[in-house]
Amino acid sequence: MANPLYDGLFGVHAGQSTPFLHLATGAVISHAEFLAIGARIANVTARLGLKPGDRVAVQVDKSPEALALYAACAQAGLVFLPLNTAYTADELRYFIENSGAALIVCDAGSEDSLRQIAGPLGAQVETLNADGSGSLMAQARKAEAEFATVDRSGEDLAAFLYTSGTTGRSKGAMLTQTNLLSNARTLVEEWRFTADDVLLHALPIFHTHGLFVATNVILASGGSMIFLPKLDLDQMIARMPEATTMMGVPTFYTRLLGDDRFTRELTSHMRLFISGSAPLLAETHVQFEDRTGHRILERYGMTETNMNTSNPYDGERRAGTVGFPLPGVALKITDPVTGDTLPDGEVGQIEVRGPNVFKGYWQMPEKTAAELRADGFFITGDLGRIDADGYVHIVGRNKDLIISGGYNIYPKEIELVLDEQPGVLESAVIGVPHPDFGETVVGVIVPAPGATPDTDAIMQAVQQSLARFKHPRALISLAELPRNTMGKVQKNVLRADYKDMFAG
């Protein structure tokens, strides 16, 4: 027995004094030092009584220790469950209850509210702050720097990532060791990563992009990362000369292009820029090439599947497309009603199958069955077509979803909050184009007869319940919602009416 994920990504670097993390402070953490931090934390989890398969819910700022907690979970056979730092206590309660997490690791600032949630559920709470302080590392520093890696199989769970749904309830996507490891290895090959690579890492580490794409690829290749807390243009531009590659959501690229210091000279030594998580406008692709001479490599993935397609490293990186299915990934376009495969060129729903595709939604067999076919194909909810040269184009979504700055937002979740507010009869939440975030959230409410809803009070209620990035950036009151003859709300009409609201 062995532990494929730990052995393949982490253990393989045992004893290596080569750099792994270059921090904003200028300090450098080697691979061996990083593994030692992970092993110390793994010893703490064992002392807390955690057993293989237990879930560890983590809502902490980005730091080397936060990343080492991921390594510790892999080594101890625990299921790593990272959570967006923007989530409110209301949102966290659901994730913690639903996952049955045995341990919650949070910032000291949210310890009290999380203890209130964790107490009745019997979960333990430890703290980890952005500077590495807190109860977790206080114990870890006293623990052994070695830990006997727990045996796991490739089919065992490595991580849960919660993704919202069109019904408003989030689903825990269960990712196995094989899902993560196979995808990391494929991407290393496809994107030609080696131990000489230095990745400029300014993404959050609680989602697929920053954690499983960026970090796992660097771990699998033996390279290193310039590990910045967040997108900060001054720091990114200052550190770019040390980097060979960068990954970002489209907002990273539009913000860099908005800065005059981002020049051809600054990037001339760079090997590769990769974009994903949201559509990169063809216009941004062209502007980027004009400014730097580099063609951004766009790829397409999801929480449930890791990466599915990529534009080629060698060969034409075609703007407005997400390239070809990755090796080992089967991709087909199907009729949303019959499920039959459509001929190339026709628009339909994108389905994918491969070692990257998750095991299902935690304790939601009906939802799993509705999206993951018995033959292994996962219905992504994205609409696309394959062109004559085999490039995949994403043309829309078959799911009611807004993507703002790379974060997924399900309108239903916001509508449920708006509908509950005094004086509101009903609501519809839409995404409209936004120059910085790609799309942003607009709420439309219909007052109950004779009522005049208090919009300030409504926004306060929204703030209480939902993470900041989900808040409507505008709230519009209409006498009624546009509906079709079947009585269904026509969000396309609303989107067309308000499409220029934030035009840059």
**CA-angle at 37, arms to 6 and 228, nearest 5°:** 95
Is 278 a binding residue for ligand AMP by CB under 6 A? The answer is yes
- The partner in contact with residue 298, picked from ligand AMP, ligand MLC, none with C-beta cut-offs of 5 to 8 angstroms by kind, is ligand AMP
Nearer residue to ligand AMP within complex by CB, 178 or 306: 306
CA distance 188 to 185: 5
Ranked by CB distance to ligand AMP, the top (closest) residue is 303
Binding-site ranges for ligand MLC (CB under 6 A): 203-204, 207-210, 230-231, 249, 251, 276-277, 301-303, 404-407, 437, 468-469
- Euclidean distance between CA atoms 177 and 153, whole angstroms: 7
Q: How far, in Å, are 315, 333, 356 from residue 338 at the CA level?
A: 35, 12, 25
Which sign does the torsion angle of CA 100, 101, 104, 109 carry? Answer: negative
Q: How far is the CB of 333 from ligand AMP (least distance, A)?
A: 14
Q: What is the DSSP string of 445-500?
A: EEEPTT----HHHHHHHHHHHS-GGGS-SEEEE-SS--B-TTS-B-HHHHHHHTTT
335, 365 in Cβ contact below 8 A? no
Q: Which is nearer to ligand AMP, 277 or 440 (CB)?
A: 277
Residue 134 sits in the site that holds ligand AMP (CB under 6 A): no
- Amino acid occupying residue 469: F
Kindly tell me which residue out of 170, 277, 310, 334 binds ligand AMP, with binding defined by CB under 6 A. 277
By a kind-dependent CB cut-off of 5 to 8 A, residue 382 interacts, out of ligand MLC, ligand AMP, none, with ligand AMP
- What CA dihedral angle connects 247, 250, 255 and 256, to 10 degrees? 40
Indicate the SS3 state at residue 440.
Answer: strand
Q: Does 300 help bind ligand AMP (rule: CB under 6 A)? A: yes
Cβ proximity to ligand MLC, 45 vs 163, nearer residue: 163
Contacts of 257 (CB under 8 A, 6+ apart): 284, 287, 288, 291
Closest CB to ligand AMP among residues 183, 408: 408
Task: Please say which residue, 243 or 403, places its beta carbon nearer to ligand MLC.
Answer: 403
Instruction: Please identify, using beta-carbon distances, which residue of 31 and 207 lies nearer to ligand MLC.
Output: 207
d(CA 434, CA 469): 13
Q: How far is the CB of 263 from ligand AMP (least distance, A)?
A: 26
Query: Which one, of 423, 450, 431, lies nearest residue 501 by Cα?
Result: 431
Give the residue among 35, 307, 354, 350 at the shortest CA–CA distance from 189: 307
- Torsion over CA: 37, 42, 48, 53 (sign): positive
According to the binding rule CB under 6 A, does residue 382 interact with ligand AMP?
A: yes
What is the DSSP-derived secondary structure letter of residue 10? I
Q: How far is the CB of 405 from ligand AMP (least distance, A)?
A: 11
Q: Which of ligand MLC, ligand AMP, none does residue 498 bind (CB under 5 to 8 Å by kind)?
A: none
Partner whose binding site includes residue 469, from ligand MLC, ligand AMP, none (CB under 5 to 8 Å by kind): ligand MLC
**Which residue from 85, 186, 380, 427 is in contact with ligand AMP, where contact means CB under 6 A?**
380
Residue nearest to ligand MLC (CB): 405
Does residue number 298 form part of the binding site for ligand AMP (CB under 6 A)? yes
The rounded Cα 487 to chain-centroid distance in angstroms is 35
Within 386-415, the residues that bind ligand AMP by CB under 6 A are 394, 397, 403, 408
Give me the least distance between CB of 432 and ligand AMP, in Å please: 17
Nearer of residues 33 and 439 to ligand AMP, judged by Cβ: 439
**Helical (H) or strand (E) element with 385:** strand 378-386
Minimal distance in Å, beta carbon 303 to ligand AMP?
4
Residues that bind ligand AMP (CB under 6 A): 163, 208, 276-279, 298, 300-303, 322, 380, 382, 394, 397, 403, 408
